Copies of this chain bind each other. A is one copy, B any other.
Amino acid sequence: MGYTESFEPAMRLALAAAAEATGTGPEENQDVPVGAVILDAAGTVIARARNRREIDRDPTAHAEIVAIRQAARALGSWRLTGLTLVVTLEPCTMCAGAVTAARLARLVYGAEDPKAGAVGSLSGRSCRRARADSGKLACGGVA
């Protein structure tokens, strides 16, 4: 199994989490379907979340941020050193910055986001910083 294929099970979990964002309930509570999981070095799932911006009425509740906060609670530390974030959509600027802030070792994303993607699509500073800081960033086209 190749490097890219090794993230397929986690990406499937992330896609399942994304699907929950457009579930039952009033339309105004339905979120854009984005899902994320965080894996430890052994591949164990530490966190699993979906975009909750509408349902939580929280502009920071993108799937990545929710998953990062969940992983930090699970580990009892803000440093997510050695962990991998797998997310269905290319992160925005806020979430790309959070990857760096949380010291994540690796980012794997599915679809590119030409409008708001801050890792590759906009070739932003956040991406270069994330790459420089982690030295292990994996990008795009995995889903």
User: Could you tell me which A residues sit within 8 Å of B by CB distance?
Assistant: 53-54, 56-62, 65, 68-69, 72-73, 76-80, 92-98, 100-103, 118, 122-126, 129
Contact = CB atoms under 8 A, between A and B. Distances in A.
Given A57-B72, A57-B78, A58-B69, 9 more contacts: A62-B101, A92-B101, A93-B93, A93-B94, A93-B125, A94-B95, A94-B97, A97-B126, A123-B125
Contacts of A96: 93-94, 97
Nearest to A124: B125
Contacts of A123: 125
Contacts of A124: 124-126
Contact of A59 (B59, B78, B93, B118): B78
Nearest to A54: B78
Contact of A125 (B59, B61, B80, B122): B122
A104 to B, nearest CB: 9
Nearest to A102: B59
A84 B104 CA distance: 31
